[in-house]
């Protein structure tokens, strides 16, 4: 590139930034700030060489962007959960290193060489695949969210946890590379009269779950890479099941066995898992699909507004287990009036969608809410609407609209509006 084009490029960039300013973006006048007018230490010496960090971690100044546990939620960390710092991330892809973890008997360490996957039951030929075998089948790349059915579960009875990380952080969104389960079932010659599969993991809990055959043959993946690299141990290294749009519990990690069956496994353990209590005291089971939901990630209790009135970017995430997000509305007055947010890009099926509302904050208090809509026409319900059907004794599948009370000092709090 010649000096000339470079300079023209810079000039254009400058003009674009200027246009942003005219629209009201935040910036200061150029004079008087030594951080830009004077030579700083980082410009007077040399930086680290390329081999200083063969596999990099975030810079120390981002040490706050980490998974967090809520110690009182579970008895110990072996059968526990932590939360994705969604309040501090942008875009839609969750880095594996801060993507929430949920395990029932701890994360196990397994070498690829020791990995085996069995497909048995109603098949022509029961098969055992090694990791190397799996790599020889045609591969797919797909981005999907995984949400634990217990996400937002503490909020049924009232506003409880103060931060999007804790109220909505049992979710992550990754690009998976793997083989379609259908391909492997065909390889084993599945019996077309089979109606279910039963899947289990190599870990002590095994996390066995039954999945209807229709779903198994649709979009389920046997995945070995996430966001381009090997799955992290805590996400099921070397191989996990990806069950798009369905509750996280079915996404079996350290996948060990797939049994092709007639009917589900009706163990007490499985039936009691992830059922939904209704207002009349009865329970609903087999509510696998995660309904449309959204959350404002900033401003939020862990991500307060740190500037005065004027331009403010309100942002968050929306998703639906039934397809693509088509629209997200944002309210500043607790649901009385709504403005349609801008989707960073068109919604993708069963994946997180980032939304922005570029707004002008008057410095007053706000009751911030987001409301998601998906391609089926489903509209995310209010907490009150959900409670009318589900009562207050539910734990799982809480997809209600969340409210943040933003105060004039920029701080935000988890509240409920009636």
Ligand X SMILES: Nc1nc2c(c(=O)[nH]1)N[C@H]1C(S)=C(S)[C@@H](COP(=O)(O)O)O[C@H]1N2
**Residue 201 binding result from ligand X, Mo ion, none, given CB thresholds of 5 to 8 Å by partner type:** ligand X
The whole-angstrom separation of Cα 220 and Cα 210 is 13
Element (H, E) at 13: helix 3-22
Q: Smaller CB distance to Mo ion: residue 221 or 243?
A: 243
The answer to whether residue 331 forms part of the interface with Mo ion (CB under 5 A) is: no
Classify the C-alpha dihedral 290-397-416-408 as positive or negative.
Answer: negative
- Tell me the sheet residues that pair with 311: 360
Q: Which of 83, 53, 94 is nearest to 227 (CA)?
A: 94
Considering the rule CB under 5 A, would residue 248 count as an interface residue with Mo ion? Answer: yes
* Interface ranges with ligand X (CB under 6 A): 100-104, 146, 148, 172, 201, 203, 205, 207, 234-235, 248-249, 251-254
The Cα 34–Cα 72 span in angstroms is 47
Report the distance separating Cα 244 and Cα 348, nearest Å. Answer: 12
d(CA 133, CA 97): 27
Taking CB within 5 to 8 Å according to partner kind, which of ligand X, Mo ion, none is near residue 207? ligand X
Short-list 77, 73, 221, 84, CA closest to 144: 221
Selected from 249, 320, 326, 349, the binder of Mo ion by CB under 5 A is 249
Binding mask 95-134 vs Mo ion (x if CB under 5 A, - otherwise)? -------x--------------------------------
The token duo for 79 is 């059968």
* Residue 101 contact among Mo ion, ligand X, none, beta carbon within 5 to 8 Å by kind: ligand X
Q: Which is nearer to Mo ion, 205 or 283 (CB)?
A: 205
Residue 381 is given by DSSP the state P
Binding-site member from 88, 93, 148, 226 for Mo ion (CB under 5 A)? 148
- Shortest distance (Å) from residue 222 CB to ligand X: 13
How many whole angstroms separate alpha carbon 312 and alpha carbon 410?
11
Pick one of Mo ion, ligand X, none as the site partner of residue 203 (Cβ within 5 to 8 A by kind): ligand X
- The CA distance from 85 to 99, in Å, is 8
CB nearer to Mo ion: pick between 66 and 395: 395
Which residue, 102 or 253, has its beta carbon nearer to Mo ion? Answer: 102
Q: Which is nearer to Mo ion, 173 or 249 (CB)?
A: 249
Is the bond leading into 238 cis (omega within 30 degrees of zero)? yes
Q: How far is the CB of 249 from Mo ion (least distance, A)?
A: 4
Angle formed at CA 385 by CA 384 and CA 386, multiple of 5 degrees: 90
Q: Least distance from C-beta 113 to Mo ion, angstroms?
A: 29
CB of 99 vs ligand X, minimal distance in Å = 6
Could you say whether residue 163 binds Mo ion (CB under 5 A)? no
Residues that bind Mo ion (CB under 5 A): 102, 148, 248-249
């Amino acid at each position: 590139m010649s000096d000339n084009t470079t300079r023209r490029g810079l000039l254009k960039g400058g003009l674009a930034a200027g246009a942003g300013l005219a629209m009201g973006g935040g910036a200061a006048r150029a004079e008087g700030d030594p951080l830009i007018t004077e030579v700083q230490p980082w410009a007077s010496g040399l930086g680290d060489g390329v081999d200083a960090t063969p596999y990099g971690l975030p810079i120390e100044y981002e040490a706050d962007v980490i998974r967090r546990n809520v110690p009182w939620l579970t008895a110990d960390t072996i059968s526990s959960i932590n939360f994705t710092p969604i309040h501090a991330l942008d875009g839609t892809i969750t880095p594996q290193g801060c993507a929430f973890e949920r395990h029932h008997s701890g994360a196990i360490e397994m070498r690829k060489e020791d990995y085996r996957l069995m497909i048995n039951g109603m098949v022509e030929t029961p098969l055992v695949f090694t990791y190397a075998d799996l790599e020889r089948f045609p591969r797919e790349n797909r981005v999907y969210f995984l949400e634990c059915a217990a996400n937002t579960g503490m909020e049924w009875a009232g506003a409880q946890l103060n931060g999007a990380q804790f109220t909505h952080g049992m979710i992550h969104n990754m690009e998976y590379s793997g083989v379609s389960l259908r391909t492997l079932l065909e390889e084993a010659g599945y019996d077309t009269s089979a109606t279910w599969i039963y899947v289990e993991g190599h870990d002590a809990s095994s996390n066995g779950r039954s999945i209807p055959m229709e779903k198994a043959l649709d979009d389920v993946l046997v995945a070995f890479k996430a966001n381009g690299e090997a799955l992290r141990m805590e996400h099921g290294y070397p191989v996990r099941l990806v069950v798009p749009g369905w509750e996280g519990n079915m996404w079996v990690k350290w996948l060990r066995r797939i049994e092709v069956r007639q009917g589900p496994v009706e163990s007490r353990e499985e039936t009691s898992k992830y059922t939904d209590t209704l207002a009349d005291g009865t329970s609903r089971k087999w509510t696998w699909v995660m309904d449309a939901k959204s959350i404002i990630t900033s401003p939020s209790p862990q991500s307060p507004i740190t500037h005065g009135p004027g331009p403010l970017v309100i942002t968050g995430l929306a998703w639906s287990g039934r397809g693509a997000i088509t629209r997200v509305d944002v309210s500043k007055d607790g649901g009385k009036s709504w403005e349609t947010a801008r989707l960073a890009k068109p919604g993708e099926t069963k994946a997180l969608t980032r939304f922005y509302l570029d707004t002008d904050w008057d410095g007053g208090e706000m009751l911030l809410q987001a409301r998601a809509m998906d391609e089926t026409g489903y509209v995310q319900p209010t907490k009150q609407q959900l409670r009318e059907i589900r009562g207050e004794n539910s734990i799982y599948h809480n997809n209600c609209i969340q409210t943040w009370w933003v105060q004039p000092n920029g701080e935000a709090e988890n509240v409920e509006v009636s």
